[in-house]
Structure 1
Amino acid sequence: MSETVRGVIARSKGAPVEIVDVVIPDPGPHDVVVRVQACGVCHTDLHYREGGINDEFPFLLGHEAAGIVETVGAAVTHVEAGDFVVLNWRAVCGECRACKRGRPWYCFASNNASKKMTLTDGTELSPALGIGAFVDKTLVHEGQCTKVDPAADPAVAGLLGCGVMAGIGAAMNTGNVSRGDTVAVIGCGGVGDAAIAGARLAGAKTIIAVDRDARKLNWAKDFGATHTVDASSEDVVEKIQEYTDGFGADVVIEAVGRPETWKQAFYARDLAGTVVLVGVPTPDMTIDMPLIDLFSRGGALKSSWYGDCLPERDFPTLIDLHLQGRLPLERFVTERISLDQVEASFSAMHTGDVLRSVVVW
């Protein structure tokens, strides 16, 4: 039978979010109902509310979540009732051209639930990133559930569902940071700090954090930054070169998503170094650069989608490293809030007062 629960929606562009009744349908053959235990408030949720993703309102917000599998569809084999899972938005299909070429982390046809959650009047909801987890229970495809060690705190584990995984993966998967590398990270919010944590985990010898906010630079040190650059008063490229024996960093991760910071990343890397763009730009942004510079400096210019992660491979491993004390995921949780505080958390996000607000049930 369908059931009705509480959820947070964005009804129209720019309007404050609302708590409403959400109808969860019976799961289809490969669908799963998950009782949400915690869900982080991500910038992507704000982008949905502001109409920056698409205009398919109303949106059921939330996607960085962990919880307990409650009900499964008739054909589900991947999980079972009672499993502790982190939700993901890359439920690989196994059939698209990326999957068939052995690159499932690029899956171009990720699976989502076969049915729509609705308002009580029947209005269909668009779940954020195919998940929609600011809700007591949510309906997802079985492949969107990744089992992890239930000893993990749900408020911590759920953050792997988006921003933290994006940053760690930008360093370890896309950037291929390895032992002894020099790394610079431009932008030290949640994603940037996760990239710093990933670079440290990979064995980088020098990790340079760049930001304009002194608080964020202090946070970056907690995650493993060995040097900091105050971009409000220092030349970013010169300082990165200074900290890398005049050469530039082997890997520069741009976690802002702006043309000016991407250019800083480009010129702050060593010859044949790598630039990783994980910050998300807006459609109107452009870059004008001499083509000879792109040629003569060599190396690789990459974009990182979801940290090029494979949830079934990466989530359990990262949770295990966290439980071993080697990955301080708990430091990303700035505050724990209730469902009715999501709108206020967007304001805290704007002022830079938090790395992550996490809704807990």
Structure 2
Amino acid sequence: MTETRQRGEHTVEAVVAMEKGAPVSVQTIVVPAPGPGEALVAVEACGVCHTDLHYREGAIGDEFPYLLGHEAAGRVEAVGEGVAGLEPGDFVVLNWRAVCGVCRACARGRPQYCFDTANAVQPMRLADGTELSPALGIGAFTEKTLVAAGQCTKVDPAADPAAAGLLGCGVMAGLGAALNTGGVGRGDSVAVIGCGGVGDAAVAGARLAGAARIIAVDVDPRKLEWARGFGATHTVNARERSPIEAVRELTGGDGADVVIDAVGRPETFRQAFYARDLAGTVVLVGVPEPEFQAELPLLDVFSRGGAVKSSWYGDCLPSRDFPMLIDLYLQGRLDLDAFVTERIGPGDVEEAFDKMRRGTVLRSVVVR
């Protein structure tokens, strides 16, 4: 790494998606010194998430080039004018929900639904001056990144950065789908459809909440074994039998109290809807493709009661949830380390995408 002293800018190496569908590459980028309300973070670890692949494929937008990476942890290196409660040396997990405190959601005491979250104002750029679009307003496959100060959540520095950073997106989404959106309680029955990183985090969340029966559903026996490691009491291979029938059989014929769809396909959403008990809750946390459509008889929606919810970032409030979950991790009650399948370098991200497609990893994590 080299650093330019002109205007306090930093010249670093980063993983960039230059154009739609093209392999990512390591590029030299320029990161500005933090301005008012901003923070410069030295990234120590960043997970490779499906969202990064969606950006690479143009499934989220077409504002190329994209600076990828968003599940990250690191150390604050500098802060801009007006930043309070954050200083150089703080160990932080980055988040994409830096709440504004004044929008209609925040004003109603629901900051986890903030409609005006903050990002850094100054752009990061390629060496030729081309502005970069940071993934989820973070862009953390880099040695240093610039974010809004509110995107930095301080946690216990004893945590392994590779594990802690995963709270920045997928693991938090799954944990929150169970704990926050689904409201899983002691003694509940829970079914989770799809046992990748998000689904296994939902299994772990249900276990933390004290669910009595946790049913993991997938088509891959390897993923079902992973789910058992995170707390599933029963597994169902959806290639071999109907998940709806299996979940009902395992819950005395009633269906589960909470069913979490961590896939986000029309068929899995339908399975989740009919695998729940009367007045139960369906949670959609898997991200659907834009063209997907779900069809359900409206009479069934009415007559079965309960709730059908979507979970956006696990309905989390980073300032509340991240420190609490890191404490549980350090107490040995939440095994975040188990989500880290491998530790890789920046030049290995494209290969990590391939492994993700094949379902052979929970998370590849870029470490510095």
Q: When the two structures are superposed, what TM-score results if normalisation uses the length of structure 1?
A: 1.00
Q: How much has 1:288 moved relative to structure 2?
A: 2.0
1:175 to 175, 178, 182: 182
CA distance in 2, matches of 1:355, 1:154: 16
How many angstroms does 1:156 deviate by? 0.3
Structure-1 residue corresponding to 2:5: none
2:285 is the counterpart of 1:278 = yes
String of CA shifts for 1:203-228, please: whole Å, max 9, x gaps. Answer: 00000000000000000000000000
Contact preservation (8 Å) 1:85, 1:147: yes
Does residue 260 of structure 2 align to residue 256 of structure 1? no
Q: CA deviation at 1:121?
A: 1.0
How do 1:1-361 residues align onto structure 2 when only pairs under 5 Å count?
Answer: 1-361=8-368
Shift of 1:352: 0.4
Q: Do the aligned partners of 1:78 and 1:142 also contact (CA within 8 Å) in 2? A: no
State the alpha-carbon separation in 2 of the partners of residues 355 and 125 from structure 1: 28
After TM superposition, the runs of 4+ consecutive aligned structure 1 residues lying more than 2 A away are none
| Structure 1 residue 78, shift from structure 2 partner | 2.8
Cα offsets for 1:71-119 (capped at 9, x unmatched): 1102111310000000000000011111111110001110000100001
TM-score (norm 2): 0.98
SS in 2 for 1:358: strand
Q: State the one-letter code of the partner of 1:149.
A: D
Q: How far apart in 2 are the matches of 1:285 and 1:296?
A: 25
Distance in 2, matches of 1:307 and 1:79, equals 25
CA–CA separation in structure 2 for the residues paired with 1:186 and 1:78? 40
Whichever residue aligns with residue 254 of structure 1, its letter is D
Question: Aligned-pair RMSD on alpha carbons?
Answer: 0.5
One-letter code aligned to 1:296:
S
Query: What is the alpha-carbon distance in structure 1 between the residues aligned to residue 364 and residue 85 of structure 2?
Result: 30
* CA shift for structure 1 position 231: 0.3
Match of 2:3 in 1: none
Instruction: Say whether the 8 Å CA contact 1:25–1:117 is kept in structure 2.
Output: yes
- Measured against aligned partners, the alpha-carbon deviations of 1:208-255 in whole angstroms (never above 9, x if no partner) come to 000000000000000000000000111110110011011000000000
Name stretches of at least 5 consecutive residues in structure 1 with no aligned partner. none
d(CA) in 1 for partners of 2:85, 2:35? 14
Q: In 2, distance between residues paired with 1:350 and 1:253?
A: 21
Q: Which runs of 5+ in 2 are unaligned?
A: 1-7
- Separation in 1, partners of 2:154, 2:218: 35
1:66 match: secondary structure: strand
| SS at 1:20 equivalent | strand
Distance 1:293 1:242 in 2: 20
C-alpha contact (below 8 Å) 1:45/1:62 kept by paired residues: yes
Q: How far apart in 2 are the matches of 1:253 and 1:244? A: 15
Query: What displacement does 1:343 show?
Result: 0.6
Contact 1:13–1:50 under 8 Å retained in 2: yes
User: Is the contact made by 1:78 and 1:143 (CA closer than 8 Å) also made in structure 2?
Assistant: no
Cα distance in 2 between the residues matched to 1:288 and 1:339: 42
Following TM superposition, by how much is the alpha carbon of 1:315 offset from its aligned partner in structure 2, in angstroms? 0.2
Tell me which amino acid in the other structure corresponds to 2:272: A
Do the aligned partners of 1:149 and 1:319 also contact (CA within 8 Å) in 2? yes
SS in 2 for 1:327: coil
What amino acid is the match of 2:163? V
Deviation at 1:42, TM superposition (A): 0.1
Per-residue deviation, residues 125-183 of structure 1 (Å, max 9, x unmatched): 00000000000000000000000000000000000000000000000000000000000
| Cα distance in structure 1, aligned partners of 2:85 and 2:25 | 33
Give the distance between the partners of 1:114 and 1:51, measured in 2 at CA. 23
Residue in 1 that maps onto 2:4: none
Query: Which SS does the other structure have where 1:263 is aligned?
Result: helix
> Match of 2:318, as an amino acid?
P
Distance, in Å, in 2 between the alignment partners of 1:55 and 1:84 is 33
1:313 positional shift: 0.1
SS in structure 1 at match of 2:341: strand
